[in-house]
């Protein structure tokens, strides 16, 4: 994420008075954009059918860079390939953006469901789920897994373990464990998973909405958000104001985006009822 922000800030710096189109600002950079506008470093002006942002106060812009990027915003050298290499090269595992491997929990209540690897290995997810409650796979460069069907991306643990109660039509459930990792996003957006329809089921709050937008940015129109009609009634009964008040920065960011229809509908509910809803409420 910091590398994306560095590229954005370099582009902003290099554009100077020309500015950058607001519509082209990456979602992950919107909080930085908001902070720069708040401190007076950036201005906005109309340009054609949209708006551009430009550096209106060079001193404030440089102060922001000093505070948030003390090592500068220039392109860094290649990071280590994994955390073992991070320790070997720099004495710090966290200099690597991620480990060499990542495990993912998956489930299916349909016995015939299976994934196939590029080298012909078949993972019988339905059978493993029936026997042990869950299956798992490792995402790495050595083996690519493919699937065709409807895939639910489930944010929290309890809904993941019983996703079929709410989404019986889904063929495969993937546990997001809160925020989807970059590696899982890349996998879901890959050609190996291009035949899948994706359904994001998370909390009905600003963070849940932003996670859906991250998935949709990578996977396009084949990603939808699970927002059944009863969500509004449940929100009024079981909703929590803290889900909005604790996420005001994310809520402000959402309002600046061209929100998909599902998110726009939820924003209207947030405004009407001043609360958000945890996804577990749908299992009551």
Buried b / exposed e over 248-274, threshold 16 CB at 10 Å, is eebbebbeebebbebbeebbebbeeee
Residues 145-197: tens digit of each pLDDT = 999 999 999 999 999 999 999 999 999 999 999 999 999 999 999 999 999 99
- Average pLDDT on 270-277 reads 97
Q: What is the DSSP pairing of strand 115-117 with strand 122-123? A: antiparallel
Which tops the pLDDT comparison, 99 or 36? 36
Which tops the pLDDT comparison, 32 or 106? 106
Least confident range of 27-31, 109-113, 241-245: 27-31
Q: How far apart are CA 83 and CA 189, in angstroms?
A: 25
Whether the predicted pLDDT of 219 surpasses 60: yes
pTM score, two decimals? 0.70
Which tops the pLDDT comparison, 243 or 81? 243
Tokens 């440089």 belong to 62
CA geometry: angle 212, 20, 62, nearest 5 deg: 100
Q: What is the pLDDT of residue 109?
A: 98
Q: What is the pLDDT of residue 67?
A: 85
Q: At what angle do helices 231-238 and 261-273 cross, to 10 degrees?
A: 30
Q: What is the pLDDT of residue 141?
A: 80
CB 195 within 8 A of CB 148: yes
Looking at the chain, how many residues does it have?
284
- In the chain, what percentage of residues exceed pLDDT 90? 73
Which tops the pLDDT comparison, 29 or 234? 234
**Total Cβ atoms within 10 A of residue 162:** 15
Q: What is the pLDDT of residue 28?
A: 85
Q: How far apart are CA 275 and CA 239, in angstroms?
A: 5
Residues of the chain with CATH 1.10.10: 2-73
Q: What is the pLDDT of residue 16?
A: 78
Q: In whole angstroms, how large is the CA radius of gyration of the chain?
A: 21
Q: What is the pLDDT of residue 86?
A: 55
Q: What is the pLDDT of residue 13?
A: 92
Q: Which one, of 158, 176, 174, lies nearest residue 278 by Cα? A: 158
Residues 77-125: tens digit of each pLDDT = 555 556 576 565 445 555 455 567 799 999 999 999 999 999 999 999 9
Region for residue 116 given its phi and psi (left: phi exceeds 0; alpha: psi -120 to 50; beta: otherwise): beta
- Average pLDDT on 27-43 reads 91
Dihedral sign from CA coordinates of 123, 125, 126, 127: positive
Give strand ranges (E) for 113-242: 115-117, 122-123, 135-139, 145-146, 150-154, 172-175, 197-201, 223-225
Residues of the chain with CATH 3.40.1360.10: 102-283
As its CATH architecture, domain 102-283 has 3-Layer(aba) Sandwich (3.40)
Residues 119-145: tens digit of each pLDDT = 999 999 999 999 999 999 999 888 899
DSSP codes joined into one string, 142-172: TB-EE--SEEEEE-SHHHHHTHHHH-TT-SE
DSSP code, position 22: G
As its CATH architecture, domain 2-73 has Orthogonal Bundle (1.10)
Q: What is the pLDDT of residue 76?
A: 57
- Average pLDDT on 262-272 reads 97
Q: How far apart are CA 31 and CA 20, in angstroms?
A: 16
Mean of all residue pLDDT scores within the chain? 90
CB 106 within 8 A of CB 171: no
């Amino acid at each position: 994420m910091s590398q994306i922000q560095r590229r954005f800030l370099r582009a902003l710096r290099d554009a100077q008075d020309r500015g950058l189109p607001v519509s082209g600002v990456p979602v992950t950079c919107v909080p930085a954009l908001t902070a720069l506008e708040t401190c007076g470093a950036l201005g906005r002006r109309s340009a054609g059918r949209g708006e551009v942002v430009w550096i209106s106060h060079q001193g404030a812009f440089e102060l922001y860079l000093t505070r948030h990027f003390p090592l500068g915003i220039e392109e860094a050298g290649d990071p280590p390939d994994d955390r073992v290499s991070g320790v070997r090269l720099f004495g710090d595992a966290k200099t690597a953006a991620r480990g060499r491997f990542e495990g993912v929990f998956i489930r299916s209540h349909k016995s015939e469901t299976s994934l196939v690897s590029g080298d012909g290995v078949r993972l019988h997810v339905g059978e493993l789920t029936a026997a042990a409650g869950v299956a798992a796979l490792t995402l790495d460069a050595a083996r690519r897994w493919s699937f065709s069907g409807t895939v639910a991306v489930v944010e929290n643990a309890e809904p993941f373990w019983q996703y079929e109660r709410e989404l019986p039509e889904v063929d495969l459930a993937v546990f997001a464990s809160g925020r989807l990792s970059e590696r899982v996003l890349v996998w879901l957006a890959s050609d190996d998973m291009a035949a899948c329809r994706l359904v994001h089921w998370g909390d009905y709050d600003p963070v849940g909405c932003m996670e859906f937008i991250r998935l949709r940015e990578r996977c396009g129109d084949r990603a939808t958000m699970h927002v059944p009609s009863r969500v509004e009634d449940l929100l009024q009964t079981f909703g929590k104001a803290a889900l909005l008040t604790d996420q005001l920065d994310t809520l402000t960011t959402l309002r600046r985006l061209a929100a998909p229809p599902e998110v726009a509908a939820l924003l209207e509910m947030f405004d009407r009822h001043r609360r958000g809803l945890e996804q577990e409420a749908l299992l009551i």
